[in-house]
Amino acid sequence: MGTDYNTTVRKHWDNSCGAGLPARESNDLDRVADKNVRATREFPTSLQIGNVRISPATVLAPMAGVTDTVFRRFIKNLGGCGLIMTEFTSADGVLRDQRVRGRYLHFYEDEHPISAQLFGSNPSVLADAARMVEDLGFDLVDLNLGCPAKKVVKCNGGSGLLRDLPLIRQIFESVRAAVKIPFTVKFRAGWNDDEIVCVDLARLAEDCGLGAVALHARTREQGYSGNARWEWIGLVKQAVKIPVIGNGDIRSPEDACAMVAQTGCDAVMIGRMAPSNPWIFRQIEQYVTTGSFVDPAEADRYQMIRTYFRMLLEEEMPGAEGKMKQFASWFTHGVPGGAALRKAIYEAKSGAEILGRVEEFFEAKLSAQTT
């Protein structure tokens, strides 16, 4: 069970204030400067972006190689996630290649509400791709200004655009004029600590008619290392009236509530923790409602792994076996004897064999527990 909500929340890593923040008045964000703020279970019940209601106010972050249709539906079925997003998708690619559209923009009716995330740097190409997204039936379209990967930044995509606010304005205006569905943006705080642009960028988004902004509170230079600087989320929230979604270092339900309490954000977005702990969205919902949450038992973990692997095989996803092996390292983390299971999975030659080895491993463990 989770801890009682009357304990003091501490993120289990340093999240100090200071470097890279814009100059501010002494009373600015004083209410969130103390990282040992007492836990609160106050959490937004829903989020409205244009005509799209998101409830609960939790978002599955777009993740390359992770958030395909199988994983999205898998997370939705576990409960507690209000909005799911596609993998980040090349605007140029979806316009030129039908196979790219089929791979990245395929979704099912039970995935609503769903947002398609695009990346690129050409305003007209992004506008055309956004029209395609709208025509396909997505509820929202999102622009990626956060990916730190060198191959993306090299093409002036993702966080590579953070050094060119005039071009970002052109993109915002072109896409906003192209579609009627809500248009949002996910971005990082800036290129590095000396080039923090998150407040200016959020104001620009609001000025151009975007429906919401999501901030991953790290710089491009940080990549995924170091600490997410929640203070930046608070500054953005103070700067704009449109909804602000906070992202970065949410590893537990307590962290989700602490981010809301410390920054005032309207929703939280969870990325890398989702494949490591697919129950986290449901746990947040439990914690907000009751003050505690349920950690999965071994039988729950078995059911979870078997369900996801079966979904991959039934969908006949290209590279399903590789994805099963990829997720095995996340799903079996902390499982007693998990190293042996991972070895057996990595050595398997087919998806059916992988599933069989998972079933054999857990059935033996569960049988031993009942004898």
Residues that are catalytic: 147
Task: Give me the helices (H) in the chain, please.
Answer: 69-78, 91-96, 98-104, 123-136, 150-153, 165-178, 198-207, 230-239, 253-263, 273-276, 280-290, 298-315, 320-331, 338-347, 351-370
Single-letter residue type at 249: D
Distances (CA, A) of 224 to 19, 88, 183, 188, 227: 17, 17, 26, 11, 8
Distances (CA, A) of 81 to 17, 110, 252: 30, 13, 14
Whole-angstrom distance, CA of residue 186 vs CA of residue 61 = 9
Whole-angstrom distance, CA of residue 212 vs CA of residue 201 = 12
Question: Quick check: helix, strand or coil at residue 121?
Answer: coil
Distances (CA, A) of 126 to 130, 169, 184: 6, 13, 13
For helices 230-239 and 253-263, angle between their N-to-C axes, nearest 10 degrees:
40
Structural tokens at position 107: 């979704």
229: Cβ–Cβ under 8 A, 6 or more apart, which residues?
15, 17, 20, 21, 189, 217, 218, 248
Whole-angstrom distance, CA of residue 20 vs CA of residue 163 = 15
Distances (CA, A) of 239 to 188, 219, 248: 16, 19, 19
Total residues found in the chain within this entry: 371
Q: Where do we find the tokens 């072109």?
A: 174
